[in-house]
Structure 1
Amino acid sequence: MCGIVGAIGARNITPVLVEGLKRLEYRGYDSCGVAVLQDGQLRRSRSTQRVAELEAQAASDGISSTLGIAHTRWATHGAPAVHNAHPHFSHGPGADAATAKPGRLAMVHNGIIENHEELRRELQAKGYVFLSQTDTEVIAHLIDHLYDGDLFAAVKAATQRLTGAYAIAAFHRDEPQRVIGARHGSPLVMGVGGADSSERFLASDAMALAGVTDQIVYLEEGDVVDLQPGRHWIEHIAPGASEHVRMDAADRPVRTVTAHSGAVELGPYRHYMQKEIFEQPRAIADTLEGVESITPTLFGADAEAVFGQIDRVLILACGTSYYSGSTAKYWLESIAKIPTQVEIASEYRYRDSVPDARTLVVTISQSGETADTIAALKHARGLGMEQTLTICNVSTSAMVRECKLNYVTRAGVEIGVASTKAFTTQLAALFLLTLTLAKLRGHLSPEAEAQHLKDLRHLPAALQAVLALEPQVVAWAEAFARKDNALFLGRGLHYPIGLEGALKLKEISYIHAEAYPAGELKHGPLALVTAEMPVVVVAPNDVLLEKLKSNMQEVKARGGELYVCADGDTQIHAEAGIHVIRMPEHYGALSPILHVVPLQLLAYHTACAKGTDVDKPRNLAKSVTVE
Structure 2
Amino acid sequence: MCGIIGYTGTGNAVPKMLKGLSVLEYRGYDSVGIAAQTVDGTDVVKCKGRIHALEEKLRDEPVEGSHCAIGHTRWATHGGPSDRNAHPHRAGNVILVHNGIIENYKALKEELQAKGVEFKSETDTEVAAALLNDNYTLGGDPLAAIRKTVARLRGAYAFGILFSDRAGEVWVVRSGSPLILAKGKDGYYLASDVTALLPFTRESAPMDEGAIARLTGDSAVLFDENGGEHEPKWMTTTLTPESAQKGGYPHFMLKEIHEQPEAVKKSVSSRIDKDGLPDFSADGIDADFWRGIRAVQIVACGSAMHAGLVGQRVLEQYAGLPTTVHIASEYRYYPPLGDAGTLVIVISQSGETADSLAALRYAKEHGRQTLGIVNAVETTIAREADKRIYTYAGPEIAVATTKGYCTQASVLYAIAAAAGLSRGVIDAKAAKELLRDISEEVPAVLETMLGKEAQFCRVAKALADHEHVFYIGRGLDYAMSMEGALKLKEISYIHCEAYAAGELKHGTISLIEPGTPVIALATDPALFEKTESNLREVGSRGAQVTLICPDGVEVPEESAGEIIRLPECSAPARLFASMLAVQMIAYEAASFRGCDIDRPRNLAKSVTVE
Q: TM-score, normalised by structure 1?
A: 0.93
Q: Secondary structure at the match of 1:622?
A: coil
Q: Secondary structure at the match of 1:364?
A: strand
Q: Is 1:153 the equivalent of 2:153?
A: no
Change (3 A) 1:300 1:188: same
Question: CA shift at 1:40, angstroms?
Answer: 4.2
Q: Is 1:346 the equivalent of 2:337?
A: no
Partners in 2 of 1:11 and 1:300 — Cα distance?
40
1:206 paired residue number: 194
1:204-225 Cα shifts (integer Å, max 9, x gaps): 1111111212221211111011
Q: Which AA in structure 2 matches 1:276? A: E
Partners in 2 of 1:205 and 1:180 — Cα distance?
17
2:256 paired residue number: 276
1:392-423 Cα shifts (integer Å, max 9, x gaps): 11122211111222221122211111111111
Question: CA shift at 1:581, angstroms?
Answer: 1.1
2:482 paired residue number: 499
Match of 1:297 among 264, 276, 280: 280
1:168 paired residue number: 159
Question: CA shift at 1:441, angstroms?
Answer: 0.6
1:396-454 Cα shifts (integer Å, max 9, x gaps): 22111112222211222111111111111111100000011100110121221232232
1:479-522 Cα shifts (integer Å, max 9, x gaps): 11110100100100111100000000100110000000000001
Partners in 1 of 2:156 and 2:520 — Cα distance?
41
Moved more, 367-376 or 279-288: 279-288
Moved more, 433-442 or 551-560: 551-560
1:53 paired residue number: 53
Q: Identity across aligned pairs (percent)?
A: 40
Q: Which AA in structure 2 matches 1:277? A: I
Q: Is 1:382 the equivalent of 2:373?
A: no
Q: Secondary structure at the match of 1:153?
A: helix
Give yes or no for contact 2:203–2:234 (8 Å, CA) kept in 1: yes
Partners in 2 of 1:427 and 1:591 — Cα distance?
13
Question: CA shift at 1:302, angstroms?
Answer: 4.1
Change (3 A) 1:575 1:299: farther
Q: Is 1:35 the equivalent of 2:16?
A: no
2:72 paired residue number: 71
Question: CA shift at 1:523, angstroms?
Answer: 0.7
Q: Is 1:606 the equivalent of 2:607?
A: no
Match of 1:228 among 184, 202, 216: 216
Match of 1:191 among 163, 182, 188: 182
Q: Is 1:180 the equivalent of 2:162?
A: no
Question: CA shift at 1:305, angstroms?
Answer: 4.3
Q: How does 1:75-474 map to 2 (within 5 A)?
A: 75-90=76-91, 103-147=92-136, 148-195=139-186, 199-236=187-224, 244-249=225-230, 252-290=232-270, 291-292=272-273, 293-298=276-281, 300-385=283-368, 387-456=369-438, 457-474=440-457
Moved more, 253-262 or 594-603: 253-262
Partners in 1 of 2:441 and 2:59 — Cα distance?
52
Partners in 2 of 1:160 and 1:576 — Cα distance?
64
Which blocks of at least 5 consecutive residues in structure 1 are unaligned? 91-102, 237-243
Moved more, 50-59 or 375-384: 50-59
1:307-328 Cα shifts (integer Å, max 9, x gaps): 2321111111000000000111
Partners in 1 of 2:410 and 2:324 — Cα distance?
19
Partners in 1 of 2:376 and 2:267 — Cα distance?
12
Change (3 A) 1:68 1:268: closer
Q: Which AA in structure 1 matches 2:67? A: T
Partners in 1 of 2:265 and 2:585 — Cα distance?
24
1:365-404 Cα shifts (integer Å, max 9, x gaps): 111111110111001101111x221111112221111122
1:263-290 Cα shifts (integer Å, max 9, x gaps): 1222332211111111111211222233
Change (3 A) 1:577 1:492: closer
Q: Secondary structure at the match of 1:141?
A: helix
Q: Secondary structure at the match of 1:84?
A: coil
1:48-96 Cα shifts (integer Å, max 9, x gaps): 2221331332243121311111001100000011110000011xxxxxx
Partners in 1 of 2:309 and 2:284 — Cα distance?
27
Change (3 A) 1:610 1:202: same
Q: How does 1:503-542 map to 2 (within 5 A)?
A: 503-542=486-525
Moved more, 390-399 or 429-438: 390-399
Partners in 2 of 1:482 and 1:2 — Cα distance?
32
Q: Which AA in structure 2 matches 1:274? A: L
Partners in 2 of 1:395 and 1:214 — Cα distance?
13
Q: Secondary structure at the match of 1:367?
A: coil
Give yes or no for contact 2:278–2:435 (8 Å, CA) kept in 1: no
Partners in 1 of 2:396 and 2:514 — Cα distance?
36
Give yes or no for contact 2:33–2:72 (8 Å, CA) kept in 1: yes
Q: Secondary structure at the match of 2:319?
A: coil
Partners in 2 of 1:406 and 1:510 — Cα distance?
35
Give yes or no for contact 1:488–1:537 (8 Å, CA) kept in 2: yes
Q: Which AA in structure 1 matches 2:383? A: R
Q: Which AA in structure 1 matches 2:245? A: E
Q: Is 1:593 the equivalent of 2:579?
A: no
Give yes or no for contact 1:28–1:417 (8 Å, CA) kept in 2: no
Partners in 1 of 2:574 and 2:320 — Cα distance?
19
Give yes or no for contact 1:42–1:104 (8 Å, CA) kept in 2: no
Change (3 A) 1:111 1:143: same
Moved more, 405-414 or 333-342: 405-414
Moved more, 67-76 or 571-580: 571-580
2:62 paired residue number: 62
Give yes or no for contact 1:540–1:586 (8 Å, CA) kept in 2: no
Q: Secondary structure at the match of 2:574?
A: helix
Partners in 2 of 1:342 and 1:576 — Cα distance?
33
1:160-187 Cα shifts (integer Å, max 9, x gaps): 0000000001111111132111111100
1:97 paired residue number: none
Q: CA RMSD in A?
A: 1.6
Change (3 A) 1:258 1:453: closer
Partners in 1 of 2:565 and 2:548 — Cα distance?
6
Q: Is 1:483 the equivalent of 2:456?
A: no
Question: CA shift at 1:124, angstroms?
Answer: 0.7
1:9-39 Cα shifts (integer Å, max 9, x gaps): 1232111111111111222321110011223
Give yes or no for contact 1:490–1:537 (8 Å, CA) kept in 2: yes
Give yes or no for contact 1:573–1:580 (8 Å, CA) kept in 2: no
Q: What is the count of residue pairs matched by the alignment?
A: 603
Q: Which AA in structure 2 matches 1:532? A: G
1:519-538 Cα shifts (integer Å, max 9, x gaps): 00011110001123211000
Q: Which AA in structure 1 matches 2:141? A: D
1:24 paired residue number: 24
Partners in 1 of 2:7 and 2:556 — Cα distance?
61
Give yes or no for contact 1:310–1:358 (8 Å, CA) kept in 2: yes
Q: Which AA in structure 2 matches 1:161? A: R
Give yes or no for contact 1:37–1:176 (8 Å, CA) kept in 2: yes
Q: Secondary structure at the match of 2:303?
A: helix
